[in-house]
Amino acid sequence: MPRLAIHRLSMAHPGDLSELEGVIRRGEVRAGDVRAVIGKTEGNGGLNDFTRGFFTQTLMLLLASHTGEAPSALAARIPCVLSGGTEGALSPHYMVFSVSDEAAPGQRGLALGTAMSPVTPAREIGRVAQIEAVIAAVRAAMADAGIGRPEDVALVQVKAPAPQAPDPAARSTDAKFLMALSRAAAAVGAGVALGDIDAARATEAALLTDLSLYSNRVSISSGVEVTCNEVVVFGYAEGWQDGIVAGVAPMADLLDLAGVQAAFPAAPGEVLGVIAKGEPDRSGAIRGFRHTMLGDTDIDAQRHLRGALGAIVAAVAGDGRVFVSGGAEHQGPPGGGLVCVFARRP
């Protein structure tokens, strides 16, 4: 019977995996059982944020030293979802999700499944091909976890690719815009797979324009360190040991403290990790009052967002090790987002 375990570990710098080395050497985690890693590095979160690739390379080398597998083989099957930017109260950290088989009576518990889409070149980013690739990958990850119904899915986390080099066949020459398009396509694809978005409305033209299309169960990041859509699905399935729960709550806007607070009692017990997505409201106002995040030429809007939302979520969690990511296109209502809490039952 599969058993999911979550270890939230700190890092002294983007290549520091000493805490993971420690839990492996102590026998708390078998390197071969690691199925996914989700974390925050201290880069800028933009196209030139190399902290994510540095961490991923170091991670695969560490796991390879314990498993004997080639780092490239590990990278091809273990999603490494990293979000750059630990502004304000946020603390660099990573969550290691491992799955082991342990004998136990039949139960129903939190399951984890993963899948990788085919390589997504720049010309397919933000197009129907990417949407369809994510739909297929989410369904494959659900099958991997043994999750039979979309309604049993708690959260879909995707790391989507950003263009590594200009391509005249791409939808735009603006690399930052393509990064947003990639998040949007992945979010819409995941939403279709979950039944939260009507497949007939999941068109290229709808991306970043029809913001009525969203799912509050998907969290998407994008970056140049990946070449395909790396998918991790969390949900409830028969045959998985009970003990870890996931509580997910929507956020109506950046100031939705009640939404943040609601996620924690939905996952009672010892908090093992927190994921939050947010978005600077494109209207230029929050609850009728003007904000300046989108017009600041000195500090990127997403850095404003991570600093603000990070402080709110970290204050509720009582811990700066929370995964807070901007760019919440189609991942909640305009200007909103979601919070997911993983916890071990008391």
Mean pLDDT score across all residues of the chain: 96
pLDDT in tens, 136-145: 999 999 999 9
Place 149 in a pLDDT band, splitting at 50, 70 and 90.
very high
What pTM, to 2 d.p., does this model score?
A: 0.96
How far is the C-alpha of 143 from the C-alpha of 148, rounded, in Å? Answer: 7
Per-residue model confidence (pLDDT) at position 264? 98
Kindly state the tokens that stand for 104: 């136990």
| Interacting residues of 57 by C-beta distance below 8 A, sequence separation 6+ | 71
Tokens of 48: 């030139």
Give the model's confidence band at 79: pLDDT under 50 very low, under 70 low, under 90 confident, else very high.
very high
| Predicted local confidence at residue 103, as pLDDT | 55
Q: What is the pLDDT of residue 261?
A: 98
Three-state SS letters, the chain: CEEEEEEEEECCCCCCCHHHHHHHHCCCCCHHHEEEEEEEECCCCCCCCCHHHHHHHHHHHHHHHHHCCCHHHHHHHCCEEEEECCCCCCCCEEEEEEEEECCCCCCEEEEEEEEEEEECCHHHCCCHHHHHHHHHHHHHHHHHHCCCCHHHEEEEEEEEECCCCCCCCCCCCCHHHHHHHHHHHHHHHHHHHHCCCCHHHCCHHHCCCCCCCCCCCEEEEEECCCCEEEEEEEEEEECCCCCEEEEEEEECCCCCHHHHHHHCCCCCCEEEEEEEECCCCCCCEECCEECCHHHCCCCCHHHHHHHHHHHHHHHHHCCCCCEEECCCCCCCCCCCEEEEEEEECC
Catalytic residue annotation:
159, 221
Cβ pair 231, 117 in contact under 8 A: yes
- pLDDT band with cut points at 50, 70 and 90 for residue 60: very high
Q: Would you state the pLDDT for residue 104?
A: 58
Please report how the helices 51-67 and 18-25 are oriented relative to each other, as an axis angle in degrees rounded to 10. 20
pLDDT at residue 164 is higher than 90: no
Q: Which of 13-17, 43-47, 244-248, 272-276 shows the lowest mean pLDDT across its residues?
A: 43-47
Task: Give mean pLDDT, residues 298-311.
Answer: 96
Residue 59 has pLDDT above 70, yes or no: yes
**pLDDT reported for residue 255:** 97
Mean pLDDT of 308-317: 98
Given a cut of 60, is residue 334 above it in pLDDT?
Answer: yes
Q: What is the pLDDT of residue 105?
A: 63
Half-sphere exposure of 241 (CA within 13 A, CB side): 15
Q: Give the Cβ contact number of residue 132 at 10 Å.
A: 17
Q: What is the pLDDT of residues 97-112, one digit of tens each?
A: 999 987 556 789 999 9
Distance, in Å, from the CA atom of 283 to the CA atom of 44, rounded to the nearest integer, reads 24
